[in-house]
Structure 1
Amino acid sequence: MRRRTGFAVAGWLLAALAATGTGLAAVQVIGAGLTGPAGEVRSPDEVARALAATPAPSGPTSTPSSGRPASPGAITGRPVTGSPDPGGGSAHGPRQLLSIPGGTVVAECDGRVVWLASWTPAQGYRVGEVERGPDDDAEVTFHGSGERIEVEVECVAGRPVPTWKKSKA
């Protein structure tokens, strides 16, 4: 009986060593692509040139929870000017990314008229009601963590300005 147990332990050790050796050999064959650096470090000038040489995407790059395409500003976190309106019209002013408790909103103004280009809930939140505009104010409600955050965006001096209030859900 002891001999059988000894053979079982020895067999298990040999199998474990073989599996470990095979795994290490596979990683060695794959090379630096798996374990090496992710890429080279580039200067800001090199990044700017690479971005300028890259063609713009022909369509939207993501879809917020509303089911409507997000603007590039929603992805990059920067104001976007001259981007086409996902609804089919044209953008009137620079899009502004607004960070709000419960999520983010990308809005743009045309004088005193505001329009929500996109909205994205923060982790743990979801989108409730939306009044996209164009109108003198646009609204979106985020629900989560036992609270409700009502966001209203208006145009002040041609720029989107958010106000919000929290309440219990």
Structure 2
Amino acid sequence: MVDRRLGYAIAWVVCAVVAIAIGIAAVTTVGASVRGRGPLGDGGIERSTQGQGRYDPEVAVSPLPGAEVVRQTVREEFGELDVKCRGAVAYATDARPDRAAGWDVVSFEPGPDDDVDAVFSNAGRSIEFEVYCNRGRPELADYEENTLPADDD
């Protein structure tokens, strides 16, 4: 009876160690893939606290002095969006829909922010995407295509 309990205890410890090892491997792998996705934290960004001495997420972000400016145009079927990075701070400077193909700009966030986004629509479709500054260069963070519900009026 004692040998059986000891066997169960050893099996439980082995299973716990294996589960912890799998968990650590999973978190390490996911963390590695997330680290390259934009500024996590305040690296390369100044947030004005207006002398309050505390962090306020609603306060505007601004690039660090001397940050390099990198411009890029995102071109897709919907048209174009001009994006500018100054360090880790993103700006969307112009949105040009492909009107000949029926696209229109629903909205775009000009920044400055850690990322900027735009929404384009064409009849029953919309495309929403987000661009952030990865090491000072514009990079697509999220791209989402949606089918809009039919208008039954």
TM-score scaled by structure 2? Answer: 0.48
* Higher fraction of helix: 1
* Higher fraction of strand: 2
TM-score scaled by structure 1? Answer: 0.43
Relative contact order, CA 8 A, sep 6+: which one is greater?
2
